[in-house]
Chain A
Amino acid sequence: MALELNNEYQYGFHDSEENYAFKSTRGLTKEIVLSISKMKNEPKWMTEFRLKALEIFYKKPMPKWGNTGLLAEIDFENIFYYVKSSEKQEKNWEDVPKEIKNTFDRLGIPEAERKFLAGVSAQYESEVVYHSLREDLKKLGVLFLDMDSGLREHPEIVKKYFATIIPSEDNKFAALNSAVWSGGSFIYVPPNTNVEIPLQAYFRINTENMGQFERTLIIADEGSSVHYIEGCTAPTYSSDSLHSAVVELIALKNAKIRYTTIQNWSKNVYNLVTKRAVAHEGAVVEWLDGNMGSKLTMKYPSIYLVGERAHGEVVSVALASGSDQHQDAGAKIVHAAPNTTSVITSKSISRNGGRATYRGLLKVHKGAFNVKSTVKCDALMLDEKSRSDTYPTMEIDEKGVQIEHEATVSKIEDEKLFYLMSRGLSEEQAKLMIVNGFMEPFVKELPMEYAVELNRLIELEMEGAVG
């Protein structure tokens, strides 16, 4: 079988930019923020929210931790903060512009959509151009819209929850997103409604130097459940691109939200994302977080367990490949109520000079007694050039707790390799098998098509790992 096993970025094609309906200028000013808000016909409170966030963005310093060297290279003046690729929302796949369709065809989206997806909101540039929602979901009363339409059509729900989990003051990049956000998903699941099919959105960055600032808000009302999948691919470009999303999840009493991400940005993308969830009484929130691409990713999905018996889980994998890639990922869990439980499982692989960092926080507030939490970080290093860091933080203010943290760093063991090779596998196959086994806890949680895609990505990445 002829696989495309070259080191070029797999989806490294891009469309011509002529057909863009609107293109803003580089840099960030009050005028740009105002024109974004005006163009979207937003209510006054949102315009004010954006302007206030812009002020906060100007005032906030850059983070003093993490890969400060790479962060300092971001040139905020050289970024497009808003690009709109077609004038209006498309309802049917047939109406989607041909050029855009071609891109999605090559990514395999239509097939996935035809098969079993509930809805696809394909974010092409900063605006959602295609959106479909299956009839049965509509009947259930589930709202699955892009964020802009969500604000237009359901302002009362948006106003009630928007920015309540991640205020603009949270960090510099959250403030930036709050000022210029565009697109993203808005999901509301009514009480006691179980959305059986995963809701799914594809994201892409296209214009050179164009920032993408999605804003996603998911509300699962009492006793409901939903699984949302976000996957990214981006074409390769020469100068750096910034991706800074804000994702807020709210799981009300006894609700369940699972959020799956696999990001595979090309290696010129900064992926600086703020993701946070609140789990109320008896609620369950799960983040499945896969980081395969980008130049620098800083992403720490958080769960605030604010109601009794809430449960939070983060399963993440990171693959840092090549000296031009730093995956700085992790998880944060805050126990703020009694009888809450959490599990963090982190797997990282670094190869070819790549750097994988786990950075985590586990906090138990006073009064949150009878808390149980397990944090497990495993790192696999495939060569002597690579680097693996573990920076866990645990802050425990209550006595009735059971906290366990464990981390290991290892290489592919010669014994395992020898065993597999003695069974007739080549060294490459054997290594791939060991790596796949290492990633298993993450991969097994994914829907089948994603698991297949991820395995194929790993296979591509592992190409040339021998010798």
Chain B
Amino acid sequence: MTEVLVDNWLEEKKRQAKTAYENCPIPDKVSHLWKYSDPECFEYDLKNLPVCSSGKLKLSVSGNLNNVVIMELSEAYKNEKYKELILKYFGKHTESYPNRLALLNESIWSSGYFLCLKKNQKVEEPITVKLSSDGVSDFCAVRNLIVLEEGSSINLIDEIVAENKTPLLINLVSEIFLDKNSKLNYANIQLYSKEVTSHNFQRAKLEEKSELTNVFIALGGKISKVDLGANLSKSHAQVTTYGIVLGDNNQKFDHHTTVEHNAPYTKSDLNFRVALKGKARSAYTGNLKISHEAIKSDAHQENRNLLLSADAKAESIPELEILTNDVTRCNHGVTVGQIDKDQLYYLMTRGLEQGEAEQIIIEGFLEPTLSKIPDKALNEEVSLRIKKKLGVV
């Protein structure tokens, strides 16, 4: 590869992705991943670009940034210190997991960050990355790249705010690479206005003994589709996923998780809690694969749905594909129900009004996930927003 090509590498990537995108058909609704969301909702006509309709999400970072490298991805590429890492990792996941919308992202992304932790750097205090929209664009493609080198660890929070009054389509792709013994506590707080349609594609590759904790809180948006994938590629790697969906009115949520156990002694745990009001609709589809090599794996998948109105809808498809018998544990569970009348009765006998009692039960239902948000202040803020949404404050 010549120097010139290296300089143009990102541009070349964009061109290649554009061709691949154009050749990639719109997903078939038959495939279960698209059964509950119309793929057309996330399409964007490239002819509209590069007209100024495409906007950037403004990036602001808070927290103690010593020892942390975090900057706009496009800036990082220009920096000789990080260019090599970007050449090494950028686009690796979108290559391994071909996806039309990720290719769309790759061909036109304009904002997003690059986060890197050097070997053995441990950052205790949570770092909050706030992405906010300009409020006028109708489309933005965000691209993040997270690289944790051996033995490093960090608490990272993505807070995505889009208070748009006009329709906005967000296409987000995050690629995560966790080297040996590294540890990422990641939380994604989605606070979109009800004009936003979003597709969030996250893929993570975990090396030996690395750990990923993924917390996804979905409160806003008109249509939100989240596609999470973790590849436990080396032994003792571990991924834990917590999700909260709280929907009302006509909100639509579609969460998909794929966990691939590709090495011995790998562990995964997943707990998705969904509460729906009004005419809100949620689909959760999970795919848990245990390959032939992944002996002594331990996998658990749990999805609980609370329907608070007669018009709410919940779908759940937790799939298992197991190719070895030597598993430590492999199970999944789903429940769909309403507020337990016995619980309600108990609380009301203690003098609570029905509304208050329901409130407490719903909060209790979401609490196990909520408590996993690594930052106390943020935890309180999210709790407050949930209360607001439930109509308490």
Contact = CB atoms under 8 A, between A and B. Distances in A.
Given A399-B307, A399-B310, A394 B322 contact: no
A410 B310 contact: no
Interface centre among B30, B307, B325 (most CB of A within 10 A): B325
B63 interface: no
Given A381-B324, A384-B325, A391 B310 contact: no
Interface string B295-318: 100000000010111111111111
B316 A394 contact: yes
Interface string A369-411: 1000000000101111011111111111111111111111111
A390 B317 CA distance: 9
B337 A407 contact: no
The 4 A-B pairs with the shortest beta carbon distances in the complex, nearest first, are A381-B325, A399-B307, A403-B336, A405-B334
Contacts of B338: 399-402
Contacts of A366: 310-311
Given A396-B313, A397-B313, A406-B334, 13 more contacts: A366-B311, A389-B322, A390-B321, A390-B332, A392-B316, A393-B317, A394-B314, A398-B310, A405-B334, A405-B335, A406-B333, A407-B331, A408-B330
B292 interface: yes
Category for how many chain B residues contact A = 35 or more
Contacts of A392: 316-319, 334
A64 interface: yes
B285 to A, nearest CB: 9
Contacts of A402: 335-338
Nearest to B288: A390
B334 A409 contact: no
B212 to A, nearest CB: 23
A65 interface: yes
A385 B80 CA distance: 49
B334 A394 contact: yes
B336 A389 contact: no
B38 interface: no
B320 A389 contact: yes
Contact of A401 (B28, B316, B325, B336): B336
Main secondary structure of the interface of A (DSSP, over half): strand
B323 interface: yes
A407 B323 contact: no
B327 A409 contact: yes
B317 A401 contact: no
9 contacts: A65-B30, A369-B310, A382-B325, A386-B325, A391-B317, A396-B315, A400-B310, A407-B332, A408-B331
Interface residues of A, number: 36
Interface of A: 64-65, 364, 366, 369, 379, 381-384, 386-411
B12 interface: no
Given A393-B315, A399-B308, A409-B330, A387 B335 contact: no
B7 interface: no
Interface centre among B308, B315, B322 (most CB of A within 10 A): B322
B326 interface: yes
Nearest to B321: A389
B39 to A, nearest CB: 16
Given A64-B28, A387-B323, A391-B317, A396 B335 contact: no
A198 to B, nearest CB: 35
B320 A390 contact: yes
A378 to B, nearest CB: 9
A387 B321 contact: yes
A366 B279 CA distance: 12
Contacts of B308: 399
